[in-house]
Structure 1
Amino acid sequence: MRVSKLLFLLFFCLGFNLQASSHLNIEEVNTNKGLKFLFVKNRDLPKVSLNISFKDAGYVYESAEKQGLAWFTSLVIQEGAGKNDAKDFVKKLEDKGISLNFIPGLEAFRVSLNTLSENLEDAISLLSDAIMRPKVDPKGLNRVFEKAKVNFNNFEKDPYFIAAKELDTLLFKKHPYSRDPYGTLDTIMSITRDDVLTYIKRSFTKDNIVISIVGCATKEEVSTLLDKYLSKLPSKRSKIRKVSVKNEFGPAENKSVFMDIPQSVILFAQRGIAYEDPNYYNASVLINALGGMSLNSILMKELRQNLGITYGVSARNVPNKHGNIISGFMSTDSSTASKAISAVKDTFRRIKEEGIDEQLFKDAKISLVNDLTFFFLSNNVSIAMLLDDMQINDRDVSRINNYVNTINDVKLEEVNKLANSLLNPENLFFVEVGRSAQGQ
């Protein structure tokens, strides 16, 4: 268990109404060549975390025939770039202790870089090679095709992967949010070198880039390096396909998939609430109390402590640009899968009708404040990711420093009023992967 979690549990048990001790000095900086970035100076350690994301370059914008292109590209650009072949590229990263990751997401293509301050220029240089001068040669493509085959073989054996895929299909039907980030083996094997190069040219541009930097550096130093290595990105991206918003999912549907595993994996979801909704923070407290506080959540107490049918169950609100859901997961013996599903519905129904009590309300707010302080603001990597996420979703970064006051201002009566209108036990979608494989 991480130290931050131990501290959280200590303060939680003591019942303190904590205030976040961290206040971020977030600066918005413009470089001489027109790039913008959010910057937080942190001299605690000689390290820098840099996150770059390209908005509207996620897998929801892919064509149906080329599903998985963003993921495939994230692998190809690591197979050599600039003057370095694949081995040399990896060796230079390792020799300098640089961590460089490419993450194709739902809405955006993300790049995460972590390095010692003294190696910042080398790190940004290698990053720029990968996104601006990748080799994309036959050898690299063939290696990625082989990796993809192995990955798809593993996907078929992963109950969580299968359950998530089936749940997305039930919820979103033909909406792009139902698409698999990895596509299918057929769509991946149809990808060509030109497809990859077109995706890079179309997606990695200056008008859809967001940059977040946290650590031991100066904004002047960072500005100079960004101008040197990223200012030659294409100015504008090509037009993107429009994605409609889907927040209504119709009557609930359930699906069971047989897999010979000792514990059934069960995912569930219903309509959620948007980040922009005035009730968003009321929902944050409600869903945290329901399924976000580990052993102290309502679902854990009911299904683990009272019924003894699971080691873990959780729920969270997932607000995205084009669709919002409340989702959860649990695992249980196949013989108790039906009972577990009924228990989740019953718990949602009870909280919808009765709400939560004063003590649980206070605990849920303390938990949210401490998650911000001890997790999201605990290190450079987490802060850079948080700033990156805020920018991708066009959110006001001032909300970070206002978060504690906002949560403390939430009122119990408003949370319980929302519970009655938001929670919908009769419209919970369930997917079970396991031995029972019977519709619920």
Structure 2
Amino acid sequence: MPGKQGDSPTAYSSTESGEFITGAPVAPATVRSAPSHGAPEVQRLVSRGGIEAWFVQDATVPQIAMQYAFAGGSTQDPPERSGLGCMVARLLPEGSGDLDSKSFHERLDKGAINLNFTLTRDDLRGSLRMLKHNKHEAFELLGMALTSPRFDARDVERIQAEVLASLRHRSTEPVSTAYRKFFELAFNSHPYGREPEGTLESVQKIQNADLKDYVRRVIAKDTLKIAVVGDIDAQTLGSLLDSTFGNLPERSDLTEVADVAPAKPPQRIFIPLDVPQTVVTFGGAAVRRSEPDYMATRLLNQIFGGSGLSSRLFHEVREKRGLAYSVHQTLMPMDHSALFVGNAGTRPDRMGETIEELERQVRRIAEEGPTREELDEAKSYLKGLQMMELETQSGLAHTLLQHQRDKLPIEYIEKHNALVDAVTLEDAKRAAQRLWGQGLLTTIVGRAPPPAVRCE
């Protein structure tokens, strides 16, 4: 999935933003982003209680999709309680107020309401989807989950057991192991270096009080971002936002997280694991979302190892030489750093060849950059990808939420294609040298180490 260029959102202003009031005096204030070339009309809505959301009114189908996020994520886990945020995300929809887990889920099922929470390293996110006529029920249940989660002992024990089982499985799974070790190599003792799901030791230490403390510190209005797309008017939405989020604490109590540069390449480690397929995870420092070279970097990622069958890595490593069963690369811009991360699966006896070819391709693109044809194809792909991402209510809501988290302007969707087209071949060559000029961080998981690697 493409990672998270643009200016920060325009500040809400009654004199400069051209806002207007919809409906009665109690209605929310909205600022419209005039659409162009079929782009959705995005409104910045501020409810009477001061809850802000990016909103697209769409009556194509009688449904509503909302995405929301609170800053924090797994970086707010105490080191000895890593996995805490993940536990909270899994437990929030497991009962609230007077409703135990069974009763809460029965109300969700009866209303055909989809409520989910997920955790990243940088935020606690959620999604809410519902039919139009069930909107009041859906928003009420979300508000209950956020403000009065039960964390009943039996539910905590059940979720804890599920997380521990997942961790045990992943400890014998090469892709998960290589990925986890890559982040440890890249970020060492920084919170980014820890596995968001935690460890067997840390998860077993998590108590009910830890869960409640995480909610107290993280779930608050000052870092809340919301995107809503669907068959609902601004006045009704504003009222629902106030009833759902209005009782949250005004301010979070987040532990400060330092910016961090990934470890300097080249470095390589080997983790022995008796599995049929050897896994190679590789990467290094990338470009932050706010930096001017971000769009060039995103295009380069598609050229070198992105999705589809036309990337250099797919052609050179898999198709031409048959070295890997699969090979790909993705960008990971985060709040405090940025990475590119790739993965290849190969036979144990061809591990050395695979690593050599990956490093050769990295040197080649760093020295030569992409071709004009590759750049043009990547531009077409990214522009088409945005169209696909905006086709559904949920996809559009997800995109609008990510734009807010990335501090992009509300009209970014309209600017996107022009920003893609503005990237020159010289821009791409400069970015390629920045990305791959120093080599790779590499973790290898499999049966036998290649020559001259440090083994753990």
State the TM-score, normalizing by the size of structure 2. 0.87
1:49 partner amino acid: A
Determine which of 52, 64, 69 is the counterpart of 2:68: 52
- What RMSD over aligned residues (CA atoms) do the two structures have, in Å? 1.7
- Return closer, same or farther for 1:271/1:149 CA change in 2, 3 Å cut-off: closer
Deviations 1:335-380 (A, max 9, x none): 2121111111101111122222221111111111111112x21211
Distance 1:117 1:264 in 2: 49
- Return closer, same or farther for 1:157/1:228 CA change in 2, 3 Å cut-off: same
How far is the alpha carbon of 1:421 from its aligned partner? 3.6
Residue 338 (structure 2) pairs with residue 324 (structure 1): yes
Deviations 1:257-303 (A, max 9, x none): 22232222221111111122211112122221111142101111101
How far is the alpha carbon of 1:405 from its aligned partner? 0.9
Distance 2:244 2:338 in 1: 37
Q: What is the aligned partner in structure 1 of residue 104 from structure 2?
A: 89
Q: What is the aligned partner in structure 2 of residue 336 from structure 1?
A: 350
Determine which of 427, 430, 433 is the counterpart of 2:442: 430
Q: What is the aligned partner in structure 2 of residue 404 from structure 1?
A: 417
Q: What is the aligned partner in structure 2 of residue 378 from structure 1?
A: 391
Q: What is the aligned partner in structure 1 of residue 375 from structure 2?
A: 361
Percentage identity across paired residues of the two chains? 25
Q: Which runs of 4+ in 1 moved over 3 A?
A: 437-440
1:387 partner amino acid: L
Distance 1:311 1:41 in 2: 44
8 A Cα contact 2:66 2:397, kept in partner = yes
8 A Cα contact 2:164 2:203, kept in partner = no
Distance 2:380 2:313 in 1: 18
Residue 181 (structure 2) pairs with residue 169 (structure 1): no
2:283 partner amino acid: A
SS in 2 for 1:296: coil
How far is the alpha carbon of 1:396 from its aligned partner? 2.5
Distance 1:359 1:203 in 2: 46
Q: What is the aligned partner in structure 2 of residue 207 from structure 1?
A: 222
8 A Cα contact 1:48 1:213, kept in partner = yes
8 A Cα contact 1:294 1:314, kept in partner = no
SS in 1 for 2:196: coil
Q: What is the aligned partner in structure 1 of residue 14 from structure 2?
A: none
Determine which of 53, 65, 70 is the counterpart of 1:37: 53
1:97 partner amino acid: A
Distance 2:82 2:325 in 1: 35
2:302 partner amino acid: N
Distance 1:297 1:354 in 2: 16
Is the deviation greater in 133-142 or in 97-106?
A: 133-142
How far is the alpha carbon of 1:237 from its aligned partner? 1.7
How far is the alpha carbon of 1:59 from its aligned partner? 0.7
- Return closer, same or farther for 1:75/1:417 CA change in 2, 3 Å cut-off: closer
SS in 2 for 1:294: coil
Distance 1:199 1:217 in 2: 33
Distance 2:421 2:245 in 1: 41
Q: How many residues align?
A: 417
Q: Which has the higher helix share?
A: 1
Q: What is the aligned partner in structure 1 of residue 314 from structure 2?
A: 300
Deviations 1:302-339 (A, max 9, x none): 01221112232112222111111111111111221211
Distance 2:446 2:320 in 1: 23
1:419 partner amino acid: A
Show structure 1 runs of 5+ residues with no match: 1-19
Q: What is the aligned partner in structure 1 of residue 158 from structure 2?
A: 143
Distance 1:408 1:37 in 2: 29
Show structure 2 runs of 5+ residues with no match: 1-35
Q: What is the aligned partner in structure 2 of residue 242 from structure 1?
A: 256
